[in-house]
């Protein structure tokens, strides 16, 4: 992922959220939230299980953005 400050203006004006799948880069190699990404998702099965015997994932974001995501997940079920 590249840091592209020229896009920040448009992201702010049009209220566009950015989301990145950071499964392969991992937080050890790329700290996406610090680079300005709104929502970061990770596959938990890659490092926690190492095989296909578990299914889990993580969504990381700020507290204000997490509230609507958590409310939606409560209504749709835990697999969302």
**Where do the domains of the chain lie?**
5-76
The full 3-state SS of 3-61, as one line of letters, equals: CCHHHHHHHHHCCCCCEEECCCCHHHHCCCCCCCCCEEEEEHHHHHCCCCCCCCEEEEC
Architecture of the domain made up of 5-76? 3-Layer(aba) Sandwich (3.40)
pLDDT of res. 50: 64
Per-residue pLDDT of 24-36, as tens digits, reads 777 677 788 887 8
Task: Categorize the per-residue pLDDT at 2 as very low, low, confident or very high, splitting at 50, 70 and 90.
Answer: low
Whether pTM exceeds 0.75: no
Per-residue pLDDT of 44-72, as tens digits, reads 776 666 666 777 778 889 888 889 888 88
């Amino acid at each position: 992922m590249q840091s592209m400050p020229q896009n920040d203006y448009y992201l702010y004006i049009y209220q566009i959220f950015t989301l990145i799948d950071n499964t392969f880069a991992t937080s050890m190699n790329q700290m996406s939230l610090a680079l300005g990404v709104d929502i970061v998702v990770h596959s938990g099965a890659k490092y926690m299980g190492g095989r296909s015997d578990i299914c889990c994932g993580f969504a990381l974001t700020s507290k204000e953005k997490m509230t609507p995501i958590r409310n939606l997940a409560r209504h749709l079920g835990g697999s969302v």
